[in-house]
Amino acid sequence: MRPVTKIDQIETMILDIPTIRGHVLSMATMRTQTAVLVKVKFSDGSEGIGEGTTIGGLSYGAESPESIQSAIETYMAPALTGRDGNDVNGAIQLIDRLVKGNRIAKAAVEGALWDGLGKRVNVPLSQLFGGAVHDKLPVAWTLASGNSETDIAEALEMIEIRRHNIFKLKIGKRSVRDDVAHVARIKQAVGDAASVRVDINTAWSLQEARWGLKGLQEAGCELVEQPLPARYRKAMAELASGYEIAVMADEALNGPEDALEVAAAKAADVFAVKVAQSGGLKRASEVIAIGQAAGLGLYGGTMLETGLGTAAALQLFATVETLRWGTEFFGPLLLTDDILANPVVYRDFCVEIPRGPGIGATLDPDKTDFYRRDRGRTMKAVAGK
Ligand SMILES: [Mg+2]
In the chain, at which residue ranges do the beta strands (DSSP E only) sit?
7-24, 29-42, 47-53, 136-138, 141-143, 166-170, 195-199, 223-225, 246-249, 270-273, 297-300, 346-347, 350-352
CA of 100 to the centre of ligand 1 (A): 23
- The matching CATH number, chosen from 3.30.70.1400, 3.40.50.720, 3.30.390.10, 3.90.700.10, for 7-122+364-383 is 3.30.390.10
Phi, psi of 20 (to 5 degrees): -70, -20
pLDDT at 382: 37
pTM, rounded to two decimals: 0.95
> For residue range 284-301, what is the model confidence (pLDDT) as tens digits?
999 999 999 999 999 999
> For residue range 85-102, what is the model confidence (pLDDT) as tens digits?
999 999 999 999 999 999
Cβ-based neighbours of 50, under 8 Å, separated by 6 or more: 37, 38, 40, 107, 108, 109, 110, 111, 112, 113, 114, 115, 308, 309, 312, 359
Query: What superfamily in CATH does domain 127-352 come from?
Result: Enolase-like C-terminal domain (3.20.20.120)
Q: Which residues of the chain have pLDDT under 50?
A: 380-385
> For residue range 236-290, what is the model confidence (pLDDT) as tens digits?
999 999 999 999 999 999 999 999 999 999 999 999 999 999 999 999 999 999 9
Closest CA to 46 of 118, 128, 111: 118
Helix 281-293 to helix 103-121 angle (10° resolution) is 100
> For residue range 213-235, what is the model confidence (pLDDT) as tens digits?
999 999 999 999 999 999 999 99
CA of 119 to the centre of ligand 1 (A): 32
CA of 121 to the centre of ligand 1 (A): 35
Distance, in Å, from the CA atom of 22 to the CA atom of 53, rounded to the nearest integer, reads: 18
Q: Is 380 a catalytic residue?
A: no
CA of 332 to the centre of ligand 1 (A): 17
Burial class (CB in 10 A: 0-12, 13-18, 19+), 175: exposed
8-state DSSP, 350: E
Rg of the chain taking only CA atoms, in angstroms: 20
Choose the catalytic residue: 168, 170, 173, 187: 170
8-state DSSP, 193: G
CA of 43 to the centre of ligand 1 (A): 39
pLDDT at 272: 98
Sketch the domain layout of the chain as residue ranges: 7-122+364-383, 127-352
CA of 376 to the centre of ligand 1 (A): 32
End-to-end alpha carbon distance in the chain: 59
pLDDT at 24: 83
**78, 81, 87, 90: CA torsion to nearest 10:** -20
pLDDT at 380: 45
CA of 92 to the centre of ligand 1 (A): 26
